[in-house]
Chain A
Amino acid sequence: MTTILSVRIDPGLAERAKKASGGNLSAFVRAAIEDKVEAVELANGNPMIVHIKARAGTWDGYISGEELLRKTRL
């Protein structure tokens, strides 16, 4: 189910959006709104959860996580 959301924007920006969307303006705007909403919700949320999401998967090591645990825990 979807709903129609009407917004007024500057004509120049509208033209740029049409060009940037590659012909599928609805999908383009939908994706942009989703990204923005998610960013705002994250920023307003629990800072620890924001941190956990931000650092997830960012391991930078000489060895993998599994190998590290094999070394320290067997």
Chain B
Amino acid sequence: MILVDTSIIVAWLDRMHPDHLACTRSLERWAEKETLAVSSVTFAELAVGARTREAVEEDLKGFDRVDLDFDSAWRAGLAFRRYRPIARSDQPVLPDFLIRGQAASLGCRHLTNDHRRTKAWPDIDFIYPDC
């Protein structure tokens, strides 16, 4: 199973996103080989901008759904606390850490378009659209 990050889902859905094609191709490529999953945290993030829940439900049809569990939440909080920004402009936010906490708990690969803060998660096998 591959846990797909919100950064991939959003770029796939929005054709105006600069990485739309790369992220769509990446989803197609990995769907040939593995089960794709999304986090309930991604569902929350999509709710920030989507017009209807029904459309998001339809978008995520076919993806396995991973609820945020306590172990993942704890890992995320610890990593968030330990994280030291490399620049003043680097202000980490929790959703990113929550999803990565889930990938770490599940021991699955994590497909993301966000290359930042990966060193905070040495135990996660990150994969990117250009891989």
Bound together, the chains give a CA A61 to CA B48 distance in angstroms of: 9
Contact A65 B10 (CB under 8 A): yes
Q: How far is the CB of A50 from chain B (nearest CB, A)?
A: 9
Count of A-B residue pairs with CB < 8 Å: 95
B12 A74 Cβ-Cβ under 8 A: no
- Check A56 for interface membership: any CB of B closer than 8 A: yes
What residues on A are CB-neighbors of B20 within 8 Å? 56-57
- Chain B interface size range: 35 or more
With both chains docked as a complex, state the minimum distance between the C-beta of A65 and any C-beta of chain B, in angstroms.
3
Interface-facing stretch out of A7-15, A20-28, A41-49: A41-49
Q: List 7 A-B contacts (CB under 8 A).
A: A52-B27, A56-B15, A59-B14, A59-B15, A65-B14, A68-B45, A73-B95
